[in-house]
Amino acid sequence: MSDVIITEKANPNTVDIDISSSLEIAKMINNEDLTVAQKISENLGAIAKAIDIISENFLNGGRLFYFGAGTSGRLGVLDASECPPTFNSPNEMVQGIIAGGDSALRFAIEGAEDSIELAREDFKNANINENDTVVSISASGNANYVIEVLKLAQQKGIKAIALTCNKEAKMSEFADVAICIETGAEAITGSTRMKAGTAQKMVLNMLTTGAMVKIGKTYKNLMVDVKPTNIKLKDRAERIVCAITECTQDKAKKVLEANNYNLKEAVLEIKYNLSETEAQRLLKENNGILRNIFKILD
């Protein structure tokens, strides 16, 4: 059985899970999950390289594409869908593509992860170019769908990243950066929605958050490009303006309401008494990075 990939191996720590109490089951799963962050810490160098690639391509007008099947595909779609409300990024800037299409988000699509044809079709339909970044996500790293995506990217000179939980993953051969979080055997044999899925979600958070930070979507650790689509987020935007400019929340709210909750413009208006036109010019010239503008104006 030595040829069985690690994500499919039985876990000796949970062999009696079916005769355990609910508390014992919870402890077993928790104990396995505790290992995930440590495994990720062993791969921070590769993750940093991936962040650099993605952020550089963002600054050149490029996009980020996640490709995956099953759980991996769903996690890619989830991370992509959270970027617009968090960073006010255009919907097309980060895109999640799952083998089998949107119906695969809810239902298993038979054979999707094994289909080279689906990979070619999805890649073509995405109109991916040399300024974009491709990330293939797969626990085993051996599914035809994700491997073909990386091959296509390689052929077209497009930067590609592999995210897997198997050091023997075939897809790592076709990536500019290979991130392998070897989480080992799952609590339930082969159920990679567990530790492997948790690891993938954590890494995807790092990739988009890290890249967005590097292109100026935050000031310090404040979400200065948040898209205020509800009462909670409007209140957050107001509090962020207050924290940066030391104004009252009433003042922040008044300015934000007047400019349709453009947080960065509000900060520049309140802090430096700039007009909307001047604030927009400075933001454009400095890639939206508030720290750079502050250095010029202070």
- Calculate mean pLDDT across residues 60-89: 96
pLDDT at 200: 98
Q: Which of 8, 56, 82, 168 is catalytic?
A: 82
Kindly report the average pLDDT of the chain as a whole number.
94
Distance CA 205, CA 199 (A): 10
Specify the CATH number for 231-297; select among 3.30.390.30, 3.30.428.10, 1.10.8.1080, 1.10.3720.10.
1.10.8.1080
Q: Which of 8, 92, 110, 113 is catalytic?
A: 113
pLDDT at 227: 85
pLDDT at 110: 79
- Pair of tokens at residue 130: 């040399």
* pLDDT at residue 189 tops 60: yes
Q: In terms of CATH, what superfamily is 6-214?
A: Glucose-6-phosphate isomerase like protein; domain 1 (3.40.50.10490)
Identify the CA nearest to 143 among candidates 121, 184, 172, 181.
172
Span 113-165, pLDDT tens digits: 989 999 999 999 999 999 999 999 999 999 999 999 999 999 999 999 999 99
138 beta partners:
164
Entry field: residues in the chain: 298
pLDDT at 8: 86
Q: Do domains 6-214 and 231-297 have the same CATH topology?
A: no
Distance CA 277, CA 89 (A): 21
pLDDT at 149: 98
Distance between terminal CA atoms of the chain? 66
How far, in Å, are 84, 87, 153, 211 from residue 48 at the CA level?
22, 20, 20, 9
- Calculate mean pLDDT across residues 83-111: 92
Span 201-230, pLDDT tens digits: 999 999 999 999 999 999 999 999 988 889
Distance CA 57, CA 61 (A): 6
User: pLDDT band for position 33 (50/70/90)?
Assistant: very high
Residue 130 CB coordination number (10 Å):
12
Q: pTM for the full model?
A: 0.92
* pLDDT at residue 57 tops 90: yes
Q: Is 113 a catalytic residue?
A: yes
* pLDDT at residue 1 tops 60: no
Query: Where are the chain's structural domains?
Result: 6-214, 231-297
pLDDT at 194: 94
CB 42 within 8 A of CB 201: no
pLDDT at 249: 95
- Pair of tokens at residue 162: 């592999």
